Amino acid sequence: MDSNEPPHYRISRIARELEAKGLDIIHMEIGDPELDTDKRIIDAMYRAALEGYTHYGFSQGLPELRDAIAEYLNSKLDTDLDRDNICLTPGGKVAIYLTLRLLNKKRIGVLEPIWGLYHSFSKVIDLEVVSIRSEFENRWIPTDEEIRKFGETDIISLVNPSNPTGTILPKETIDKIVEIASEKGGYIVADELYFDLTYGKTRFTSFLEYDYDNTISIFSFSKNFAMTGFRVGFIASTSKDLITRFARYMRLVLGGVPPFIQFAALEALNNKDIIERNRKFYKEQTRYLMNELKKLGFRMVEPEAGIYLFPKVPEGIDGIEFVEKLLTLGRVAVSPGTGFGDYPDFVRFTTALKKEKLEEAVKRIRHTLEEMV
């Protein structure tokens, strides 16, 4: 097995192998919403392709799309961005990887639990990882002692709202993180992909609102607009120089996002009702699954955003064994907590499935637990 393969990717691979043998698997390990992309978005992509937007384009992204993104962020956040603060990327993963490569530092502090690719990418590019832990008992908010450890690093990396917990960091926590970064001129790589899929009481505060130029925030169209297969994301920074450097680096490696896909993204931003509809779906599905899992003995911090639950398995159940049994016996694929840091008693469930699929998953989870006790 590839040592850089995140555990949830391994589970997904095994699940696909079982499916190839004819088994029915419910996929709750990968964050791919069970939603169709809005037809208006698909039609815009099709029109753009027919009109000839199938050649090389601006590596930084279409100017009109970057204008629309800047306008959208400014309307949602306390920012004053323009097109030169934005660079399009072929999905969020590429944005993360190229950012870490571009910064070319030695030590990265990651706020755990965190999406497993941050560990994988750090290993690939030989970054020393400093784990900054948060705990279930503290509602996944890091203590001041843990936050101070960021001072030992060159890059501060976190996902807010969180993947996997759905927690939104309070402003006072972000204040402290920015202060520590600015004291030594460190960089902040803030994965803010779920920023407009919030449904809790905590107000989302973006790191872009601090005008700290050593900040890169990462976004994507994948979840909010249900465009996972389009592979279109973007980065934003108050530093236009940082964006220019990133765009030049990306052009060397990838060229850029296909123009016809960028027109699809532009159409998405012109129809913000899509986000509201999708957000309602995510909220309802997450609330349903949360309540059902609680009945089965799972304990969790109620998420305030996103499409995941990160509960602690019921008392007396081994988390790693549960993930394996749930896949082989229950035919439900979920992500082990070890994929997000040292959290073996936790499991991440993707909630963005249709109601009937979630209902069937709950039955299979209940059956698996009954077989384990």
Q: Kindly report the CATH number assigned to the domain that includes residue 323.
A: 3.90.1150.10
**What's the domain range around 267?**
39-271
Together in a domain, 283 and 163: no
Together in a domain, 160 and 87: yes
Q: What are phi and psi of 330, to 5 degrees?
A: -90, -15
pLDDT band at 160 (very low <50, low <70, confident <90, very high): very high
Together in a domain, 122 and 264: yes
In the listed set 207, 238, 271, which residue is the last one of a domain according to the structure?
271
Bridge pairing between strands 187-191 and 155-159: parallel
pLDDT of residue 17: 85
Q: Identify whether 299 is part of a domain.
A: yes
The burial class, CB within 10 Å (0-12 / 13-18 / 19+), for 44 is buried
Other CB atoms within a 10 A radius of the CB of residue 243 amount to: 23
Together in a domain, 286 and 265: no
Determine what percent of the chain is predicted with pLDDT higher than 90.
Answer: 88
Q: How far apart are CA 143 and CA 160, in angstroms?
A: 16
Residues 331-345, mean pLDDT to the nearest whole number: 95
Residues 240-255, mean pLDDT to the nearest whole number: 93
Together in a domain, 299 and 193: no
Together in a domain, 63 and 113: yes
Task: Report the chain's mean pLDDT, rounded to a whole number.
Answer: 94
Contact 39, 225 (CB under 8 A): no
pLDDT of residue 23: 87
Residues 94-115, mean pLDDT to the nearest whole number: 95
Together in a domain, 100 and 55: yes
Q: Which position has the higher pLDDT, 42 or 255?
A: 42
Query: Is residue 119 scored above 50 in pLDDT?
Result: yes
pLDDT band at 3 (very low <50, low <70, confident <90, very high): low
Token pair 């896909």 is found at 261
Q: Identify whether 14 is part of a domain.
A: yes
pLDDT of residue 1: 42
Q: What is the pLDDT of residues 57-78, one digit of tens each?
A: 888 999 999 999 999 999 999 9
Contact 99, 157 (CB under 8 A): no
Residues 116-125, mean pLDDT to the nearest whole number: 92
> Which strands form 155-159's sheet, in the order they lie side by side?
86-89, 233-236, 215-220, 187-191, 155-159, 107-112, 128-133
pLDDT band at 5 (very low <50, low <70, confident <90, very high): low
pLDDT band at 156 (very low <50, low <70, confident <90, very high): very high
Together in a domain, 132 and 233: yes
For the whole model, what pTM was predicted? Answer: 0.93
Name the domain count of the chain. 2
Q: Identify whether 1 is part of a domain.
A: no
Residues 4-17, mean pLDDT to the nearest whole number: 77
Query: Is residue 20 scored above 70 in pLDDT?
Result: yes
Together in a domain, 231 and 350: no
| Least confidently predicted of 16-20, 141-145, 180-184, 227-231 | 16-20
Together in a domain, 100 and 193: yes
Residues 6-21, mean pLDDT to the nearest whole number: 80
Residues 130-136, mean pLDDT to the nearest whole number: 97
Residues 103-110, mean pLDDT to the nearest whole number: 96
Q: Which residues of 245-255 are buried (b: 16+ CB within 10 A; e: fewer)?
A: ebbebbeeeee
CATH code of the domain in which 72 resides: 3.40.640.10
Query: Is residue 4 scored above 80 in pLDDT?
Result: no
pLDDT of residue 155: 97
Q: Identify whether 140 is part of a domain.
A: yes
In the listed set 271, 303, 328, which residue is the last one of a domain according to the structure?
271
